[in-house]
Amino acid sequence: MPITTVVDPSAFNVDYFNPTYQKHAENFLKGIEEDGLLIVDSENKLQNAIFEQIASLPTKYQQQLQIRFEELFKNKKDRVVECCILSNYTSSEDLLDLAYHLRIVSEADALIVADKDFEILKSDQEYDESIFPLSGYSGGDFGKNHQKYYDELKSIDTHLESEVEDTIIHSAQFNDWLTSILEEDIFVSRERLIALLAKGAPHEELKEEFREFFNGYYVLTSELEEYEESILEIIKGDEAFIYLKHRVSAVEAQRKSSPLGREARRMGLSVHGDPVPEIKVTELPPDGFRALMGTLGNWKLFVARERLVKLMETEYPIGIAERLRAEFYGFFVCYLELELFLENYDYDPDEGLELRPEFIESLEREEEYIKSGGKMLTLEEVAKRLGT
């Protein structure tokens, strides 16, 4: 699994540069080139600011860094991932604030900052240990861990082969199946939804796109939940995934609904004994609905998907198979967390749509059937007959 990093542009400010600092900067870029992903915002604010900072450096420092960054962004599909973060969630002027929130949204392994900003952030009570100064890269914790993480992940595939050979994760069809997952309609709809939010689209347009988004979400869940038990067994049974175990435990501890109840909720229905969602999406005020769309559009699932896409497009096949599987488990946990979040929301994508004449006729026939003594099965009874 590549080490993912967000960089605050001030880390390349001319005030910090000397031959030693230059070495740290070059080693950091080498790490990205060899086995890393650089996370940038989709509006290119961080990227442009980094190039501006480098352009202001003395020639002896500027040339090598400029060449490395240009190569990095020229081969963007290999080592750079764009992540959308809505401007109303961060300060439009404060690039450190943007970088900090981008790391949180993307779940990047590290945020690289300037020495001054590192000291400020370190003094904050909510200090995140994934923040590192660029001046400490060579020989520092992040630099050392970079290779350590990679070495540990190289053995993941070996650990897993004997345990789960009968699951889709280790079948010959895994790549084809994963490709189909990553091309589901929800990901296309999410891009449209983000674009509508960014331009301040009217409420009705957002509602229409959310219906498409939710339908895509329903299809995605139908593909993934079939393998939940097998995937969770892998995550819980291998120490290489300890970084995911606590997130899985948190989801399982907070879940209130049954698998059948979650299936029913996605169809706008309910199952006896399961809690009824507290928030009706269609009754949210426009501002509340827009905020919900922003939360969903920035969900970690979409960044995890981009990581997978980048890995599948890589031109360096060595070690990709095990890294791809490891990255997929992270993607799956993001999906579980999205499911947990939506557990509190009641939404029927068919609400307000006109019924087709043939469907109305079918309903009328069923009504006559019931009136004449016929019996309708509950969702639980149908599931029991199907053995699910």
Could you tell me if residue 160 is inside a domain? yes
Same domain, 122 and 162: no
pTM of the model: 0.59
Which CATH number fits the domain that encloses residue 101? 3.40.50
Are residues 177 and 222 both part of a single domain? yes
Residue at 148 is within a domain: no
Residue 263 lies in a domain: yes
CB 107 within 8 A of CB 85: no
Q: Match 């020495």 to its residue by tokens.
A: 115
pLDDT band at 175 (very low <50, low <70, confident <90, very high): confident
The pLDDT of residue 123 is above 50? yes
Q: Are residues 80 and 30 in the same domain?
A: yes
User: What's the CA gap between 193 and 296, in Å, rounded?
Assistant: 9
47 in any annotated domain: yes
Do 301 and 262 reside in the same domain of the chain? yes
86: three-class secondary structure by DSSP:
coil
More confident residue, 133 or 316: 133
Largest interatomic CA distance in the chain: 90
Q: Do 107 and 181 lie in a common domain? A: no
Cα(310)–Cα(312) distance, rounded to whole angstroms?
A: 5
173 in a domain, yes or no?
A: yes
Residue 216's pLDDT is what? 93
Q: Which of 77, 112, 141 is the last residue of a domain?
A: 141
Between CA 326 and CA 315 the distance in angstroms is 18
Boundary of a domain, candidates 98, 116, 141: 141
For 157-167, the pLDDT digits (tens) are 444 444 444 44
211-224 pLDDT, tens digit per residue, is 999 999 999 998 89
Answer yes or no: are the C-beta atoms of 10 and 96 closer than 8 Å. Answer: yes
Residue 66 lies inside a defined structural domain of this protein: yes
Beta bridge partners of 346: 280
Same domain, 22 and 118: yes
Question: What is the domain count for the chain?
Answer: 3
Q: Which of 182, 149, 161, 146 is nearest to 321 (CA)?
A: 161
- What's the pLDDT score for residue 374? 62
Verify that 172 and 205 share a domain, yes or no. Answer: yes
Residues 6+ apart with CB under 8 A from 204: none
The answer to whether 51 touches 90, Cβ cutoff 8 Å, is no
118 and 30 both lie in a single domain: yes
The DSSP symbol for 360 reads: H
Distance CA 293, CA 299 (A): 10
Quick check: 89 pLDDT over 70? no
Provide the mean pLDDT of the chain: 79
> 355-380, pLDDT tens digit by residue?
456 645 665 666 665 566 666 556 56
- pLDDT band at residue 205, thresholds of 50, 70 and 90? very high
Please indicate, yes or no, whether residues 160 and 267 belong to a single structural domain of this protein.
Answer: yes
Residue 146 counted as domain residue:
no
Q: Which domain holds residue 172?
A: 156-346
Q: From residue 209, how far is each of 175, 193, 293 by CA, in Å?
A: 29, 6, 10
- Of 125 and 330, the structure prediction assigns the larger pLDDT to 330
Give per-residue pLDDT as tens, 41-74: 878 888 899 999 999 998 888 888 888 888 888 7
In what helix (H) or strand (E) does residue 83 lie, and over which residues does it extend?
strand 80-83
Does one domain contain both 327 and 376? no
pLDDT value at 192 more than 70: yes
Residues 366 and 251 in one domain: no
**Region 121-139: what's the mean pLDDT?**
74
Decide if 125 is inside a domain: yes
- Give pLDDT, residue 167: 44
Q: Is there a single domain that holds both residue 92 and residue 18?
A: yes
